[in-house]
Amino acid sequence: SKSPQPRPGILDIAAYVPGKEHAPGVAKVHKLSSNETPLGASPRAIEAFQAAAFNLERYPDGQARALRDAIGAVHGLNPANILCGNGSDELLGLICHTYLSPGDEGIVTEHGFLVYKIQITAAGGRPVTVKERNATVDVDAILAAVTERTKLVFLANPANPTGTYIPVDEVRRLHAGLPEGVLLVLDAAYAEYVRRNDYAAGLELVSANRNVVMTRTFSKIYGLAGLRIGWMYAPPEVIDAVDRVRGPFNLSAASIAAGAAAVRDQAFVAEAVDHNLTWLEHVSRALEALGLTVTPSVTNFVLIHFPDEDGKRAVDADTFLTARGYILRAVAAYGFPNALRMTIGSQEANEGVIAALTDFMGRK
């Protein structure tokens, strides 16, 4: 018998592989593979989540108004220009399905987040990959790759898995060089961690133009990855178009309630930023002292490069760390076969990784 055939291109997609969860045989595991916060979620968000349990027979508000209003109030944005998604992953997919016709091109960068390529391909488009320079996005290379078929440009800023960042002047230069018909998607999943005030400027770039959107998430600093909450700030025409493609009740009632409470608790966010900054510095310096190369990061993770002697030290280190309960992320699929990405965790987890890597690097 013959199975129904997916559309051309679908079976060329490599399905997304999430970070490992378990270390076989190890009782206590520190999962540092998915850039989750070690600090949990705001108690106010948890309370709102629990309160949502009393109305589960009702559909959620399909417009997620309470959440959009809260985001708008905190960030000084018009809620009409905000659209929420089941994680920012969903929004990235909706953008592709809204703007790409078969054969249209979406530009992504060499070490960029894999979801862009997956969704461009799923929508019938063609991902065009542009080289980076020193693990950092190269604006000139992106502009040089634009063709008549280019519809979307995806820029994670800060980028994952490198943790690098381009300042808003560079983003402006990129935008200025793009044709008006190309939509620039600024993926700012790690925005809150950045100690510069460029994100307000990024939002202004959206306000002032018709072809820029910014996506954000509650999965990282807000500690709500399990609820799947993302949002985008976009010009009215983009909101209108993407909203037509969106599923009717894409956020659960619990997500709407918890997200709204979380965004109103900015004191919690400030504490999380402090914790991260302290440990980002400490971990980076300690690993460099071991002779490892750490790409300078502005996020809640670091990309650790192992000595290149045999090109598989990272694989050995991964095995070594996993056996001790420290789960990092292998990033070969992102073009770094000899590196591991480590999320900044609790004090215990961070010190544990440093101690384990000290042992690992001391072995001959």
**Binding letters toward ligand PMP, positions 96-135, x by CB under 6 A:** -----------------x----------------------
The residue within the footprint of ligand PMP, chosen from 37, 162, 217, 350 (CB under 6 A), is 217
The residue within the footprint of ligand PMP, chosen from 33, 109, 119, 160 (CB under 6 A), is 160
Q: Does 93 bind ligand PMP (CB under 6 A)?
A: no
The residue (of 32 and 286) whose beta carbon lies closer to ligand PMP is 32
Give the amino acid at 344.
Answer: I
Q: Which two tokens stand for residue 294?
A: 């750490």
Rounded to an integer, what is the distance from CA 357 to the centroid of its chain?
A: 26
Q: What is the CA radius of gyration of the chain?
A: 21
Q: Does 230 bind ligand PMP (CB under 6 A)?
A: yes
CA pair distance 49, 28, nearest whole angstrom: 27
Q: What's the min distance (Å) between Cβ of 320 and ligand PMP?
A: 25
CA pair distance 325, 310, nearest whole angstrom: 25
The one segment of 45-53, 56-64, 86-94, 250-258 that binds ligand PMP by CB under 6 A: 86-94
Beta-ladder partners of 127: 106
Contacts for 14 with CB less than 8 Å, ≥ 6 apart: 114, 118, 333
Q: Does 156 bind ligand PMP (CB under 6 A)?
A: yes
Pick out residues in 171-210 that bind ligand PMP (CB under 6 A). 187, 189
The residue within the footprint of ligand PMP, chosen from 81, 88, 297, 338 (CB under 6 A), is 88
The residue within the footprint of ligand PMP, chosen from 13, 201, 225, 361 (CB under 6 A), is 225
Q: Does 223 bind ligand PMP (CB under 6 A)?
A: no
The residue within the footprint of ligand PMP, chosen from 38, 60, 87, 93 (CB under 6 A), is 87
Give the amino acid at 179.
Answer: P
Q: What's the min distance (Å) between Cβ of 157 and ligand PMP?
A: 9
Order of strands, edge to edge, in the sheet holding 301-305?
Answer: 293-294, 301-305, 336-343, 329-331
- Count the neighbouring beta carbons within 10 Å of the beta carbon of residue 116: 26
Number of Cα atoms under 13 Å in the Cβ half of residue 171: 28
CA pair distance 282, 302, nearest whole angstrom: 11
Q: What's the min distance (Å) between Cβ of 360 and ligand PMP?
A: 26
Q: Does 252 bind ligand PMP (CB under 6 A)?
A: no
- Count the neighbouring beta carbons within 10 Å of the beta carbon of residue 57: 5
Q: What's the min distance (Å) between Cβ of 132 and ligand PMP?
A: 14
The residue (of 158 and 352) whose beta carbon lies closer to ligand PMP is 158
Report which of 41, 57, 59, 39 is spatially closest to residue 49, judged by C-alpha positions.
41
Residues that bind ligand PMP (CB under 6 A): 87-89, 113, 156, 160, 187, 189, 217, 219, 225, 230
